[in-house]
């Protein structure tokens, strides 16, 4: 039988992604936080607005597309 | 005035104190989901950036930790969504069969890449349930959904992953 059982899937995932319980960041991230806070605010690219407008338009014209869109969000 | 109240009023010192108090738990919440220490550090900073920007909406009588955790989980899921790979996995190269360890490594890589193609919400629920083995109730609290929804997401993640692995010819 070559079908993956639930247990085999779990074992494969554990092998691919070992548990992260012991993972700890030892670095002080506060300096990076300060740099982030002092960085100039990023502006939204016009293309992002265009994509958002197309998505809204698509949902209005084809309401069925909304569920597909939300699935991928 | 209490620390949380000073933070809610925009006090930078109070924010720094909360940052230092919660940096480690926020990092841990994120790294358990994204499984990438370098990305988890960036996302920890991103989480606190969102926390700082939303300080006026924070109610001092509420739990700062629970609020930060919800934001951290959303940041982690956004990251999974952005980095979700839709690239096809490479074909097996012809040649002699590699030794067992190489086969296992290849299988691990394929499982990892197939898993990274799943919807971000499924990945988050499945990694917490199946890899970290957290109780469903705890995952539900972390993700802000019901236990039933967690079970559904894990079930769908396993079903989708099984299909992907079978399509790729990856055997257990």
B99-142 residue pLDDT tens: 557 767 888 889 999 999 999 999 999 999 999 999 999 999 88
Are the beta carbons of B45 and A73 separated by less than 8 Å?
A: no
Q: Which residue in the block uniquely carries the two structure tokens 């949380």?
A: B4
What angle do the packed helices B147-167 and B100-115 form, to 10 degrees? 130
Return the closest-CA partner of residue A33 out of B9, B66, B17: B17
Looking at the complex, report in whole angstroms how far the Cα of residue B149 sits from the nearest Cα belonging to chain A: 15
User: What CATH number labels B100-167?
Assistant: 1.10.10.10
Domain B3-83 shares a fold with domain B100-167: no
The per-residue pLDDT for B100 is 57
Q: Is B107 exposed, middle or buried (0-12, 13-18, 19+ CB in 10 A)?
A: middle
Tens digit of each residue's pLDDT, chain A (73 residues) = 578 899 999 999 999 888 776 567 778 999 999 999 988 776 778 888 888 888 888 888 888 877 777 776 6
Q: Which of residues 4-43 of A touch B (CB under 8 A)?
A: 4-6, 8-10, 12-21, 23-25, 27, 29-30, 32-33, 36-37
Can you spell out the DSSP letters for B50-86? HHHHTGGG--TTS-HHHHHHHHHHHHHHHHHHHH---
Domain B3-83 in this protein, CATH class: mainly alpha
Q: Name chain A contacts of B131, Cβ cutoff 8 Å.
A: 13-14, 17-19
Is residue B64 within 8 Å of residue B20, measured between CB atoms? no
| pTM higher than the cut 0.80 | no
Q: Which residue in the block uniquely carries the two structure tokens 């969000």?
A: A73
Are the beta carbons of A25 and B19 separated by less than 8 Å?
A: no
Q: Name chain A contacts of B48, Cβ cutoff 8 Å.
A: 29, 33
The two structure tokens encoding residue A17: 């992604």
The per-residue pLDDT for B1 is 66
Domain ranges of chain B: 3-83, 100-167
Cα dist from B130 to A15, B105, B139, B169, whole Å: 11, 20, 11, 22
Q: Is the ipTM of this complex over 0.85?
A: no
Domain ranges of chain A: 45-73
Q: What tens digit of pLDDT does each residue of B85-108 get?
A: 654 443 443 334 445 577 678 888
Is residue B27 within 8 Å of residue B41, measured between CB atoms? yes
């Amino acid at each position: 039988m070559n079908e993956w059982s639930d247990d085999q899937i779990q074992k494969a995932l554990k092998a691919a992604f070992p548990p992260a319980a012991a993972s700890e960041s030892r670095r002080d991230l506060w300096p990076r936080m300060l740099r982030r806070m002092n960085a100039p605010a990023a502006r939204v690219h016009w293309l992002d607005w265009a994509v958002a407008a197309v998505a809204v338009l698509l949902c209005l014209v084809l309401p069925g597309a909304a569920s597909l869109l939300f699935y991928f969000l | 005035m209490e620390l949380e109240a000073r933070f809610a009023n925009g006090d930078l010192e109070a924010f720094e104190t909360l940052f230092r108090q919660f940096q480690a738990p926020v990092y841990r919440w994120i790294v358990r989901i994204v499984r990438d220490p370098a990305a988890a550090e960036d996302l920890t900073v991103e989480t606190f950036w969102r926390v700082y920007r939303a300080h006026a909406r924070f109610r001092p009588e509420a739990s700062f930790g629970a609020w930060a955790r919800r934001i951290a989980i959303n940041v982690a899921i956004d990251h999974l969504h952005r980095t979700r790979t839709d690239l096809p996995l490479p074909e097996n190269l012809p040649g002699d069969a590699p030794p067992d360890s190489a086969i296992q490594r290849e299988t691990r890589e394929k499982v990892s890449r197939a898993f990274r193609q799943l919807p971000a919400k499924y990945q988050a629920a499945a990694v917490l349930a199946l890899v970290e083995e957290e109780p469903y109730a705890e995952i539900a609290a972390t993700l802000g959904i019901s236990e039933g929804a967690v079970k559904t997401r894990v079930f769908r993640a396993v079903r989708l992953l099984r299909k992907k692995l079978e399509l790729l010819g990856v055997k257990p």
